[in-house]
Structure 1
Amino acid sequence: MSPWVRVLGPVTVDGPAGPAALVGARQRTLLALLALGVGTVVPRSRLVDALWGEDPPRTAVRTLHSHVSRVRQALESCGLPGVLLTKEPGYQLELPRAEVDAHRFEDGVRAARACLPDEPEQAAALLTESLAWWRGDALADGEPDGWGRAETERLAEIRLTAIEDLWDANLRLGRHPEAVPELERLATIHPTRERLVELLMRALFHCGRHVDALDRYRRLSNHLAAEFGVDPSHRVNDLHAAILRGELGRNTPTAAGLPPRVGHFAGRTVELDALRHWLAGGTTQIMVVRGSAGIGKTALAVEWAHEVSAHFPDGIVFVDLRGHDPETALTPGEVIARVLDGLGVPPDRLPVSVEQRVAHYRALIHDRKALIVLDNAGTADHVLPLVPNSPHSRILVTSRHRLAAASAYHSVLHVELDALGPGDARALLGRVLGSERVAAEPAATDRLVELCGRIPIALRVAGARLAGRPRQPIAELVAELDQGGLDALSVDGDARSVRTVFASAYQALSDPAARMFRLVGLHPGGTVSSWLAAAIVDDTHGRGRRGVDELAAAHLLNEVAVGRYRFHDLMRRYAVECAADDSESEAAVGRLLDWYLAVAEAANRVLDRGRDRVVATPLHPPRELPFGADPDEVLAFLDGERDNLVPVAAFALRRGHDRVVWQLSYLFSGYFESRGHSDSRVAINRLGLAAAQRAGDPVVEGLMRSGLGVAHIAARQYEAALDHLREALRLMAAAGDLRGIGHAYNNLAAALGELGRFEEAIGACHEAHTVHVANSHTLGAILALNNLGHLYARVGQPDESLHHLHRGLLLARDADDRRLEAAIQHGIGETHRATGALEAALEAFTAALALRRAAGNRRYEARTLVELGATLIDAGREAEAGKPLDEAAAIADDLSDEHTADRARAQLHRLSL
């Protein structure tokens, strides 16, 4: 049955009593826009913008009332009485979604996309049916302006994307000959639309027209260069390269998420063959590589993953689960978050609950051919949520356990690792030392192999020591190891020991390097920077770096990135044992925590100087810090530390350093505000709250609850946020902490606004402003005015919005707070754009952009560039819009901000239409 309201072409209404008599383009536009927002209130201000654009007549609101009255009469005459309602602050069309063709179209497209790629026939049928609703351009006989015109452009973009999806489905069904003519027609109309050209290239290739496919790539490249000064995307470039080779692949294989191969890998031929057979075999998706600590599980997994990376064109994700230590092991939610991050999901799109993350992961990986490497799994709970729901991807797990519970739900294959065979162990030493040196002392080599228990990590450490002394006979090291004896540090399940090998390498270190080894082992995180290592031993970075280099050369530390190192867990255990007898250990822990406090304090001053309620007080500040005043430099360094922040705070809490814990949780908030990572933000704030409660300071507890509430808002856990913020408000009020009261109200307003409780949110914001003004806290007052501006804009009151934003702008300028001034200018631009005042919006966005560039805040710079480009398109200044949108996409790509990059490219698509 046809819907009553049709807007995908000429605007018509066919009610039970016949067609509605809509007179004039504005009445048709009004009806269509209400239908597109069916079931919701469309504010009068937006309707005025959509009907008259930037320069409405003074009588626009009165004329709008007249149009509404006539449309209501027309609907009643065609048998649809009572469906056009007046609801403040505008009007609402109360009809089922299915009675509007545009909604049927969008719902059908959404259902079709859920079928791709596994059910292309069903997808093609749904898309064909959905596209049939179109009878011409959307609102073909209307005259939409402002956001109304943008809505027609949005529908046109969905239509074109649906056509692309349809031909994608048809190509999956082998319908290449019938696809070529239509795709050629579309590519001629849209010569810079890369997906259309990509589909056409595929169709031409499979029709045997390889030269034509390459020519289409050349034409696309020329168009993109001439119009935008850019090259085709990686995806199209990869397709071009595959056609040149005579084979088609979807993407460039990437092993970017993998650690580097372990140096001097040797042996494991049988195990590698088993992994290759698994890849070539049937439907078993899970392989577990099991063995004791130090046996080479990770080295084998990484070696094989690098070898087969071409088989996984959609990428390889590597996550160290740290399952060997219950105190540092990742939770299942954290594991899924890391995997989603590796698959390109930005932090601001990370679902809240574990269940939502699992669902998002399975939907994302359904059509991908990816390899997930889960290193150091402790339990099957680490693995089970990540089993894909299609056979395209595989999971490779390393563990010290059999993970038997996984086999209860899925088919699981196992590779068991034991010590290397004698020949492979000799080969490994030969690769480290050179075959001539090993061949010159065969008996000593065989004895060294046995003393190392044929354990790869022990062999590498022993080999590294000998490599550093090229004239030392192997027999001399063997004699030292024989005298040392074999004692307690055993590899699980093996009676032989590796402690003697470790001790030999440790005793050969210079005194400064040996001191660094045992003290750095106290660090609870996954990696250690050279800056922290220097601070722990109370030295300059230059001298500290030499000590780290010595440890890496001896294979006692592994460099995993420039200036960043990781202990093997067995080596860490040995380092901690060495530190147990060192009287300096407690002081080293203090320097470690003081380094994090100093880093947090310095980063907070750069990233958010308004966050000044906590000033870190390290007892022993480090001699040097790893960054200066450049925000990008600060964020880049803290990105490397991110996985350490929660373990360090938990470590400090266990050792009774409560002050350090709550100070860290407060001072790192600016970093999390910039980068996201809501799970870690919530976790560190929970630790801060626990420390404050143990300290018994209600003011600090209120501050920590306020921070935890904001962390829950960032994680989109709004009810939990309200609980903590209300308790924070109670604590602040009891203590008479006016500034804390004001911030608690501001944060409550943010949570209430996200829950759609706008009246309460606006009330809380006014309370915040009143308290901050009474307390002469200017920055808090500015923030409240900024929030009020956003809230009033969301409820369709642009005049109130601009009133509060302009008040905040004056105060921000007086306070010389460029960060808040930029945020307010951006908000002013958004409000003006929503009302169709495009020149005023452009002026505000331009001002915000200059401020954000001056501050080096690239994340927010990209967001303002998107709004600037979109507003230029709205204003008909398409020739100027491409540059800011290209810049926004480039910055967002550089920062892995997928949400902003997608928005920039969506606007670029508008330019290409």
Structure 2
Amino acid sequence: MTDLDIRVLGVVEAVGPHGTVALTSTRRVILGVLALRAGAVVPYTELVDVLWGESPPRTAFKTLHSHVARIRQALAASGVDSVVTTRDPGYVLELPRERVDAHRFELTVRHARADLDRGDTGAAVQTLRAAAQLWRGEPFAGTDLGEWGHHEVDRLRELYLSATEDRWAAEIATGGAAAAVLELPRLVAAEPLRERLTGLLMLALHHCGRHADALTVFERLRARLADELGADTGPELSELHTAILRRDVSVATPPAPATHTPAQIPARVGHFTGRDAELSGLDDVLTGDELPIVVISGPAGMGKTALAVQWAARITARFPDGHLFLDLRGHDPEHAVPAEQALARLLRGLDVPEDRIPAGECARSALYRTLLHARRCVVLVDNAGTVDDVLPLVPGSDTSVLVVTSRRSLTGLVARHAVHHVVLDALDAASSVALLGKVLGEKRVAREPKATARLARVCAGMPLALRIAAARLVGLPSRSVAELADELSAARLDGFAVEGDARTVRAVLAGAYRPLSPDAARMLRLLGTSPTPTVSGHLGAALADAPTAVPVLGELTGAHLLIDAGDGRYRFHDLIREFARDRADAEEPEPAAIAGRLLDWYLFIADEANRLVNPDRDAVKPTFRFPLPALPFAAGRHEATAFLESERDGFLPVVQYAREQGMPTEAWHLVYLLTSFYEVSGRWTERVELCRAGLAAARDTGDLSAEAEMLRALGVAYYMTRRLAEAVDTNLTALRVVREVGDLAGEGHVLNNLANAYAELRRFDEAVPVFREAGECATAAGNRIGVALSQRNLGHALVRMGRAAESLAPLTAALAIFDDLGNARLRAGTLDTLGEAHRDLGRHTEALRDFAEALAISREIGDRWLEWELLRDRGLTHLAVGDLAAALDHFGQSLTVTRAVHDRNGEAIALALIGHVHLLAGRTAEAAERLEQALSVRAQVPDGYEEAHIHRDLAALAAARGDDAAAGPHRDRAVRLYLRVNATAEAEALSEPGS
């Protein structure tokens, strides 16, 4: 065992075999944080946050590594070696947790509480006294910690205070009231608003016969709570105050045991499946410092009661004094059980005779808490409707656990009590199939595995729906699973019913729908018509023609008919969405108006974002049929693209929905208006499907100009996703259409895109004349931006052909036009190519200047696609002058951006370049790892030229390792690929002897 002790409960200290380790304040903090997570990786970023907060210096990581190196030296000098190790992405202190005083304190407190659970109060007193002696002062005393550190100190302080309260409660119970009277006033003065400490002081004074002093202590706290917080004392303290007023001796004696132990928890549901994570989290509740209220909430039919009963059955041994059950029927306001009646039922379960049950909710609640005090019981309250239904049923001590199920969130409980909240959603696919297998039998499921998986999907993971579907098959062994899946797919909600059982999915959801306010019910119907995976509150307000939807959305999420997906977005469970659509069909008088408002809203946000991101893209000007709502984002390009990013998953469903609703013009208009968003954000793979849908919609209209526009957009999407052969074919089709229409400017744009595809295929001899033809069309049409684009792209092709000197003229001409038009994005793209030309001409300073200006523009306008290319090009320039460290840094940044925009081609390029730098630096292991990763990604986005580079470097890597057998195949593969894409110079260089 490592002979090192670390103390953080006070000033941070480390003591090794040779005495206290000499460390500066900063290094003590680092070692202390590592000690709190002994045995686990603490990320570099977390340590930087602890040391410097939100404003770390530029050299933060370098400084951190230097501090850790000094810590290792200091530990070694004190006789401790190799305890602080590096393990990506951070550091680990390889030290047993019991060698850290904070962990030792927590373990000691846990043992003491186990003694209390066993009723061994005397042993608990001794253990808690030992725990208190580990505490030398405020954790990390005298240090300035970041946010994480402050939270950890607060957690340790709370543990210390609760352990101190446990200790003095045990001391008083074992005759130590006199000692408590001497010590507790100091603790109460330090924590004047902590009610349990005040209660312990009152109890100790009461035991010592100082009743008047005990009442004075209470009055002092009550006045302070009222003055400072406007709050009253809690019910436990108020009850103690009343007992002392009455000189009640019962506060010093345990309650009399009941004559029988209640066991009211219902039988567990058959074939309980899944919910392992939820059950594990519930088990962890019992290991904490205090026992919270457990609230299990979720939509109707999700198995809330089944989970509660399953867990209650698991923990009965931990709570041997009784298991109470009560159904409040809170989902049905007309038949809900009032609190007074609910308490009466619980009191009867606790063996209180009918004639001893007091009248009134307050008196019954007080008796209920008195009877549960010091008893270990499970109280399961099913189907609670509101917070007010639950509050009177909360036990007065943490010896019993209250478990509540509800279709509502009951978040208001958090203001009064500690709450562990479990929100149930649908079962995952594996658990859904497993449940069907348990009910139907594994053999039957094994006969039709695909049909069973489909049936599980139709049931959308709702346990009630899965059980009903299985019940419909159990009695019919010859019926196929596939047949039922087909029937339920067609019948949907109506199919989820079993003869003789009133508990259908539709009936359960209707029960949750009926109590809604009229506005919330209508919002549910309106949002149910949306085709998108999630919906925003802004869309809800637009559909309802209301200034805000926040209150009704809160009601719907509170009822778990809508799920809060974060960032102002919401989602439906599939069957609840189906129910909402059914209600809309039955109750909404103007379905066409709903569809019109929805499409108006999407066109509105896309149009406004397009104006901010690229006002030159103005071929479409949508018309709106309904009053426009307030703009849901601030008038800035970053805010616009951020909002569209949150809506991105819904774009394709909305375009398809527009076609289904007979509005194809709106469909292709939306695709057009979203072009600017995809140009700056990337994600071109999904853009392909969007453009295909837009093309189909344009063809629905019969408008050739619309068809040409969507063909052009699809060609660009194919180009950006490296589907170059399809890009060529699509642009050739677009070219025929624009020529048929007579759109000269459009012809220029299509020719430009076609030439770009030729250039990427390294068919430069075809690309160059097409670029020139594109420029001629744009000139004839008076389209200056088209002229500049053809010049810029011609320049780029010339650079790639090794004719950088010839590229300067067209690039400079393009730059002048973009400057005159004020188009920052295209200026940045042209500067990027100009920088490449300067680099190839050996003008590295000019190249870096061009790249720096372009990078600043790309970041200002949020064009992440251009950003990764610029980072790559800057890295290549540093590589050209031999600065491997700077090159590696830029390639690493480029990799981060490509992954953020999901550009697999860019990711493969960045990985290959990182591997290339490691190879040049002689770091063969790192080079091999990155090059193999690059090859794997490249397989998903084929590009013969880029793949050849990877095999070239893998050949060089194998040769460097002396593995000629591996080098040869890689070299041959690279040569074949270079020749295939007409890169003969590269192929010849690699074929030379000794290459």
TM-score norm. by structure 1 comes to 0.50
TM-score norm. by structure 2 comes to 0.46
More contact order relative to length (CA 8 Å, sep ≥ 6): 1
Larger Rg: 2
